Structure 1
Amino acid sequence: MTAPSPFDTRLAKLRARMAETGTDLVALGPSSHMAWLSGVHPHGDERPVMLLVSATYAGFLMPALNAAAARKDTDLPFHPWSDDQGPETALAELLQASGATAPGLSVVLDETMRTDFALRLLDALDTPRRRFTEDTVGLLRASKDGEEYAAIKAAHRLNDEAVKAAFAALKEGITEREVVALIQEHYKANGATLEFCSVCFGESGAFPHHYPGETALAQDMAVLIDTGCRLNGYPSDMTRCGFFGTPGEDYLEVFATVERAVQAALEAARPGVPASAVDKAARDVISEAGYGANFLHRTGHGLGIDIHEPPYIAANSDAILAEGNVFSIEPGIYLEGRFGVRLEEIVILRADGPEIFSEMPREMQRGT
């Protein structure tokens, strides 16, 4: 007997969740939600494309010119439409097949769908009650399965190698952009693509989202590298810091404080704990050390198909962490005009606490 595909399993879980939440119809646009549920990631433009799921049917509204390319990724039925016909008839047929014609249906909309797609669907329904995906697809996506874990782990193993190579290549005069190019080439040589890369020398590290430039490395400069690749559809994300030359007491103090904040957040992260409590654990360490005003962002973000997705590890988050959640822990201290230190791990939450994906130690990287 052939084992069910992960997409069959996810569709079954979604239907179970729809029953639990009283949801009649889930509508997804060409997004990471659609890719996660079906494996289909069609080109997104102004032509309406949707995946509709009801208790008894799942099918696509699909522009005819995209159908052949999308067909290789799914066996779910298509309701195609051509440019000269428009999507109205195909959408009506899809809704009929889905059993979504009664008034007052409870409809979940993909919050990342184009507004004109969503309004077209709502206009075709009779007095629908709509909400977004947080208690259906979003909730299910936040708990990673074994295949997702393996993909994220592989991306992080490659990321470790790239970051180690980058620190090893540091020399006086090398520029931030040259280090980015080295990292990107390492990804490419190993079958991955660059997701993002921020290399920060000296005072550049005081900007959490610094865009690498022509700043050249010199003696007694702090170094911050925050980078990630995408491998087999899933990203990695990690930040490591170091010093080129001899760090002063101020840098050592800040580095040690950020490391304590990471450890406190890791200790606080458990299933059933509010995400805000993990943020507080890290923030309290930094505030008590006198750097509270220099911690400029939330403690973390979820990671899956998207590099940023729920749950968000923030003071204002009402998310309750659950086993299988994947998220970052990345406190930082930023001293304008001097340097910044951020240490970041991506973790998966297990029953007894977080498992870190990266195998590269967080210890200070040193170069001369």
Structure 2
Amino acid sequence: MKINYASRMERLRLKMLESGTDLVAVGPTSHLSWLTGLDPHGDERPVLLLITQNHAEFLMPALNADSVRQHTDLPFATWKDADGPHGALNQILTRLAVPASPKLALDEMMRSDFSFLLLDKLPGATHSFMQDMIGALRMVKEPGEYAALKESHRVNDIALTRAFDSLYEGITEEQVADGIANTYVEHGARVEFINVAFGANGAFPHHHTGQTQLKRDMAVQIDCGCRHMGYPADNTRCGWFGEPSDHYRNIFAIVEKAVAAGLAAAKPGVTSGEVDKAARDVITAAGYGETLAARVGHGLGLDLHEKPDIVSNSDVVLEEGNVFSIEPGIYLLGQFGVRLEEIVILRKNGPEVFSDLGREMIVRN
């Protein structure tokens, strides 16, 4: 996937100009990977990329400098363990000519001690986080990112299909998860996460896959994602081993209706809160609103969870190119859970679903 990192830096500087931001500080996080393509070794040694309108420079441990230097032309101020980072950071700030009371945007994902190291040098700074800087840029996906996400979901569809086809009485959740992981490897991907839940375990939205054995007339919920071409997939499908009960069929139909409502509401110009409400209202009207404590969806990109959140109290206006999940569910303790999830990219006329796997109930005997 070819990425124009220089263009991303230009777009960041335009955001800085529009918001009056003097300095952006990025740590060794996915924000840095998105902006520069770099993934320097992250440990307790401070790594910072400091950016102004006219200059960008790394604070870089000497231990890692030669390795990272192969992948970027950006200048480094290196520091050795015996000296500490303070002198090198002072040199960068002098070269950047940062004003005495700068408006600073900090990488919210980096270590807090990295942030305090910088803030201690800028006692007059006002600071915010990356939501309106790199975060805002990452929310609108580029064509190459779309292609990677689409390919990752293609592999995930294969793994989910095989997983449901592998079900038999006595198989454990972990055995199903192992099969999913093997499918990922077969297709050149790696595991991002795998959550297999049989029966009552499906009522825990974040159940930990374990040794529960599959029995006749038991619900099956599989939520999994691979990472392929640098980007993750995420998908949940549900079904039944044996003959589904009328109760399960009813709950499944409600959740499917909620997904459809969320998809219908998702358009450029509406808020993410409106999408959450459209899906949530279906479940609430059916009498199961109290079981849906979580948000209806989350953004997805380089990170499995990123902005925008699809949550009831959000006034974030959705844009063409946003990627997010719609995944309402009903969770009945002691019985089962049903969650159906789609990852979509927002187009001019509405959402495009990444997965080609249908959402109908999967029944195996």
Please, which moves more after superposition, 186-195 or 158-167?
186-195
Partner of 1:349: 346
CA distance in 1, matches of 2:344, 2:113: 37
CA distance in 2, matches of 1:6, 1:356: 26
CA distance in 2, matches of 1:253, 1:150: 36
- Is the contact between residue 220 and residue 245 of structure 1 (CA under 8 Å) also seen in structure 2? yes
Partner of 1:228: 225
- Is the contact between residue 27 and residue 47 of structure 2 (CA under 8 Å) also seen in structure 1? yes
The AA in structure 1 aligned to 2:54 is T
TM-score by length of 2: 0.97
Asked if 1:40 is matched to 2:38, the reply is yes
Asked if 1:127 is matched to 2:124, the reply is yes
Q: Give the C-alpha shift of residue 147 in structure 1.
A: 1.2
The AA in structure 1 aligned to 2:74 is L
Matches within 5 A, 1:1-368: 5-100=3-98, 102-125=99-122, 127-368=124-365
CA distance in 2, matches of 1:358, 1:68: 41
Q: Give the C-alpha shift of residue 69 in structure 1.
A: 2.0
Q: Percent identity?
A: 55
CA distance in 1, matches of 2:320, 2:184: 30
- Is the contact between residue 41 and residue 64 of structure 2 (CA under 8 Å) also seen in structure 1? yes
Give ranges in structure 2 of 5+ residues lacking alignment: none
1:232-272 per-residue CA deviation (whole Å, 9 max, x = no partner) reads 22111000011111001111111111000000000111111
Report the secondary structure of 2:131's partner residue.
Answer: coil
The AA in structure 2 aligned to 1:337 is G
Q: Give the C-alpha shift of residue 37 in structure 1.
A: 0.4
1:111-151 per-residue CA deviation (whole Å, 9 max, x = no partner) reads 11211111111121251121111111111011111111111
CA distance in 2, matches of 1:166, 1:138: 35
Q: Give the C-alpha shift of residue 70 in structure 1.
A: 1.6
- Is the contact between residue 296 and residue 334 of structure 1 (CA under 8 Å) also seen in structure 2? no
TM-score by length of 1: 0.97
CA distance in 2, matches of 1:258, 1:109: 39
Q: Give the C-alpha shift of residue 363 in structure 1.
A: 0.9
Please, which moves more after superposition, 303-312 or 124-133?
124-133
Give ranges in structure 1 of 5+ residues lacking alignment: none
Report the secondary structure of 1:290's partner residue.
Answer: coil
- Is the contact between residue 106 and residue 128 of structure 1 (CA under 8 Å) also seen in structure 2? yes
Q: Give the C-alpha shift of residue 5 in structure 1.
A: 4.5
- Is the contact between residue 296 and residue 332 of structure 1 (CA under 8 Å) also seen in structure 2? no
Q: Give the C-alpha shift of residue 99 in structure 1.
A: 2.5
- Is the contact between residue 244 and residue 366 of structure 1 (CA under 8 Å) also seen in structure 2? yes
Q: Give the C-alpha shift of residue 216 in structure 1.
A: 0.8
Cα distance change, pair 340–69 in 1 and its aligned pair in 2 (3 A): same
Report the secondary structure of 1:250's partner residue.
Answer: helix
